[in-house]
Structure 1
Amino acid sequence: MDYLPLFADIRQRPVLVVGGGEVAARKVALLKKAGAVVKIVAKALQAELLDLEQKNEIEWLAQSFLPEQLDDVFLVIAATDNKVLNQTVYEAAEQRHRLVNVVDDQAKCSFIFPSIVDRSPVTVALSSSGASPVLVRMLREKLEALLPQSLGKMAEIAGKWRPAVKEKLPQIKDRRVFWEEAFQGVFAQKVGSGHFEEAEKTLADQLEKGAEKQGEIILVGAGPGDAGLLTLRGLQALQQADVVLYDYLVSPAVLEMIRRDARKICVGKRAGHHSVVQDETNRQLVALASQGKKVVRLKGGDPFIFGRGGEELQAAREAGIAFQVVPGITAASGAAAYAGIPLTHRDYSQSVVFITGHCRQDGKGLDWATLARPHQTLVIYMGVMNAGKISEALIQYGRKADTPVAIIAHATKPEQQILNGRLDQLENLAKQAETPALLIIGEVSGLQSDLAWFSSQSDKEDRQSSLINLA
């Protein structure tokens, strides 16, 4: 190791910062966050430091540096662009055995500032010993994404409960099992949702019952396909899961983000493929969670928009299983954005309606008169099979035949396909569309060619093909 990693307690300890510019201000902010008594030596202070000095939150000790200013400080930071002055500060600190950091000059640092992930009281510090700051920054960004913001509060509550847990469970092994279950189970979920009293009650119940593991169900929206659109909370859930029940609409790239040793079960429904009936999916969710497992139900898009998420949670509630929901970017929003179609626009559409295209044979069940109103956007899930009926009904109830439409298949993925046309061409367009696909009907669909930003070769080929076939 080039440096010994240490966490220093500098609360109420004097720290000297030489320099009064932007770099010095960043260091002062960090020092103050750690509780240091900050003293400044500088010819002038930038606005933020001057404000702190006027509020008596830092001390402007002097305008010129003198070696004796180091006699009573814990550590010193030189943050000036004057190399001679920085050298003087470094030598004076070394002579007095004071820890010193000369900013951006590793050779003159007896300590360095690591990159920090702050979830106080949990703190993660990363350093490459000055070799590759950019790499460390990238690692920090990954950790920021993986570590929930509630981690600090979780640690705070755990610290409060440590004596009681130690008294109840004198064996180290039993305490380890207890805390592992707490940090991965319902306690962590309650803290994450801000229900701190319920979280502590969960700890009390867990302590009373012993090491019996509590299962839970997490309903996660996987987004429309692009793995980059999975939420951070969704990623965290996938990394913690014991079992993941997923649909066909979940992309392989998202499935790759599941914890390697987690069990994966496909419970999808798709025409022409083996399908798992909803009651069986509900049964599996409850059965697995009843075994004490953390079960993730992973759905394409958002689980509460044509995803039957409500039905699955009703089954969990009836069985007394704890659950939570992680929303996802719904297919309508993701597909429209990647196609360059604003779902609303003050010049073209003042409302948007999401409907399912699984129409009844008699055509009833939908308020076609309302759906056919102009200046609104219709987003139709699972509508390819009934595109002809949809087009016919909308025109019958007053929607103009030349209303722009778009069919988007494999939305947000590299193989995304967009077919454009008019409402009276919808049936023919649907025959060319791959599945799964989404229908967007309304004036805003006409903006697609102007606002398209995400495209692939298949987009261009399919668009050219559709124009030829419809000519």
Structure 2
Amino acid sequence: MRYIPLAFDLIDRPCLLVGGGPVATRKARLLRKAGARLVVVAPDITDELRELVRESGGQYYPEPYRTDFLDLGELVIAATSEESVNAIVSADARALRLPVNVVDSPELCTFTVPALVERGPLSIGISSGGAAPVLARSIRAQLEALLSPAVASMAEMAARTRDRVKEALPEPQRKDFWQWVFTGPVASKVESGKPEEGEAQLLEVLEKWAGSPEPTGEVYLVGGGPGDPDLLTFRALRLMQQADVVLYDRLVSKEVLELVRRDAERVYVGKKREFHSVPQDNINQLLVDLAREGKKVLRLKGGDPFIFGRGGEEIDRLADARIPFQVVPGITAASGCASYAGIPLTHRDHAQSVRFITGHLKEGELVLPWKELASPGQTLVFYMGLTGLDTICAQLAAHGLPAETPAALVEKGTTPEQRVVVGNLQTLPDLAREREVQAPALTIVGGVVSLHEKLQWFR
């Protein structure tokens, strides 16, 4: 690492800027935003730069650069169009041990200006040491997308309450307390647009910590989507990076699981057909127990936690135990798999409604309102329906849907291993056996399936 990231306090500090063109103006904007007093040396400058100098209470010298101008600044930036002038400024500043930056010439710099992500008082600098500024800007764009806009409000709240926290708690507890603030229910309130309520809760809990601090845990119930990690929400990814322990299902793809914080403890609680590794009641209680140990617990589910994911049962138990929790919806398998297979769930010529149905056998039987399901003009999506596929197709045909009604199986949807098997109510069960379709597989029935050949794009 050639450069170490540092943060300069530039409030009312004189900064010498040599140059007056567009590049110099861009640097002046950044310096002015940090509160610097601008001292500009150049034969001519842009109107915007002239105004920035005036606003800062600085000074403009309309003449060529001379070494004695260095006496007027504590930090130097050379941004002229003349490489020879920039080189002289760099040499002079180095001789006086002044920090100097020469635009687009890292070999002449003693410091570089990073690409910045700003959220109120919080700033993140990304630097390549001048080697690849475009790459640094690209990474900045990625971070901009990942960081919640509420980060600024959280940083401002921390600034307002920092002294009170410092007075109330010793160092080890302060660290744990702030970790709780930034990852727990206080942060949730700020992110949901209620910063006043968040700050009030912060102060309320601070009193409890100061009196008798106890571990405070929380559960994140997160939908991991149908498999493709690109379908995760930004909020899901943030919480996945904060968790101390993760309880995950069989339907969570390995690519999604790789995005969990690397040092988090991982506990597999998935279920397979005719085999439950951990009973649901045990999972519910484990969430409570881990949270009571003060841990941030990630309950990571495939798809969406509230669509055949038993998420409602889990938060019901958490609510009874008064454990704080957050729920982050995910893209459910029906939406993700159908989209990747080129099958729109609704279409004005084929389906005006869509129904999500569990195809899970209970005691060897599949009891559903078949007459309602066999109504025309709708799309049927069966979750966990591979085992009962023969029954599903036979019952729908017996209750009025034509045997030629298009039907499809989407195996391992949205992943690189995705396969789509298309047939109709009469042929699909045999096709599933011939192609040896394996779970997880989603069954889609309805006229929209006929659009697959034309609209598919995922190969």
Report the TM-score when normalising by structure 1: 0.79
Give the match for residue 366 of structure 1. 369
Give the match for residue 200 of structure 2. 201
Show the 5 A alignment for 1:116-127: 116-127=116-127
Instruction: Supply the distance in 2 between the matched residues of 1:341 and 1:100 (Cα, whole angstroms).
Output: 59
Give the match for residue 451 of structure 1. 455
Larger CA deviation: 261-270 vs 181-190: 181-190
- Provide the secondary structure at the position in 2 that maps to 1:217: strand
- How much has 1:366 moved relative to structure 2? 3.0
User: Among the aligned pairs, what percent are the same residue?
Assistant: 49
Instruction: Supply the distance in 1 between the matched residues of 2:204 and 2:382 (Cα, whole angstroms).
Output: 46
Q: Give the 3 Å change call, closer, same or farther, for CA 127–419 of structure 1 in structure 2.
A: same
Larger CA deviation: 414-423 vs 125-134: 125-134
Instruction: Supply the distance in 2 between the matched residues of 1:88 and 1:317 (Cα, whole angstroms).
Output: 68
- Provide the secondary structure at the position in 1 that maps to 2:426: helix
Instruction: Supply the distance in 2 between the matched residues of 1:114 and 1:214 (Cα, whole angstroms).
Output: 37
Q: Give the 3 Å change call, closer, same or farther, for CA 163–44 of structure 1 in structure 2.
A: closer
Instruction: Supply the distance in 2 between the matched residues of 1:327 and 1:52 (Cα, whole angstroms).
Output: 51
Give the match for residue 222 of structure 1. 224
Q: Give the 3 Å change call, closer, same or farther, for CA 351–84 of structure 1 in structure 2.
A: farther
- Provide the secondary structure at the position in 2 that maps to 1:67: coil
- Provide the secondary structure at the position in 2 that maps to 1:414: coil
Instruction: Supply the distance in 1 between the matched residues of 2:63 and 2:89 (Cα, whole angstroms).
Output: 8
Q: Give the 3 Å change call, closer, same or farther, for CA 111–244 of structure 1 in structure 2.
A: closer
Whether 1:158 and 2:158 are equivalent positions in the alignment is: yes
Q: Give the 3 Å change call, closer, same or farther, for CA 24–389 of structure 1 in structure 2.
A: farther
Q: Give the 3 Å change call, closer, same or farther, for CA 126–364 of structure 1 in structure 2.
A: closer
- How much has 1:34 moved relative to structure 2? 2.4
**C-alpha offsets along residues 30-63 of structure 1, whole Å, 9 cap, x if unaligned?**
3343244668868786xxx769969x87999989
Instruction: Supply the distance in 2 between the matched residues of 1:194 and 1:230 (Cα, whole angstroms).
Output: 22
Q: Give the 3 Å change call, closer, same or farther, for CA 2–198 of structure 1 in structure 2.
A: same
Q: Which amino acid aligns with 2:167?
A: E
- How much has 1:371 moved relative to structure 2? 5.4
- How much has 1:433 moved relative to structure 2? 2.0
Larger CA deviation: 314-323 vs 400-409: 400-409
Total equivalences in the alignment: 449
1:272 to 256, 274, 280: 274
Q: Which amino acid aligns with 2:6?
A: L
Instruction: Supply the distance in 2 between the matched residues of 1:441 and 1:343 (Cα, whole angstroms).
Output: 10
Instruction: Supply the distance in 2 between the matched residues of 1:366 and 1:380 (Cα, whole angstroms).
Output: 13
2:360·2:366 contact (CA, 8 Å) conserved in 1? no
- How much has 1:97 moved relative to structure 2? 7.6
- How much has 1:323 moved relative to structure 2? 0.7
Show the 5 A alignment for 1:266-415: 266-358=268-360, 365-366=368-369, 368-369=371-372, 372-374=375-377, 376-415=378-417
Q: Which amino acid aligns with 1:281?
A: I
RMSD: 3.9
Instruction: Supply the distance in 1 between the matched residues of 2:59 and 2:173 (Cα, whole angstroms).
Output: 54
Instruction: Supply the distance in 1 between the matched residues of 2:3 and 2:231 (Cα, whole angstroms).
Output: 38
- How much has 1:449 moved relative to structure 2? 2.7
Larger CA deviation: 112-121 vs 29-38: 29-38
- How much has 1:311 moved relative to structure 2? 2.0
- How much has 1:299 moved relative to structure 2? 0.5
Instruction: Supply the distance in 1 between the matched residues of 2:43 and 2:397 (Cα, whole angstroms).
Output: 76
- How much has 1:81 moved relative to structure 2? 4.8
Q: Which amino acid aligns with 1:441?
A: V
- How much has 1:322 moved relative to structure 2? 0.7
Q: Which runs of 5+ in 2 are unaligned?
A: none
Instruction: Supply the distance in 1 between the matched residues of 2:452 and 2:57 (Cα, whole angstroms).
Output: 59
1:371·1:378 contact (CA, 8 Å) conserved in 2? no
- How much has 1:163 moved relative to structure 2? 2.3
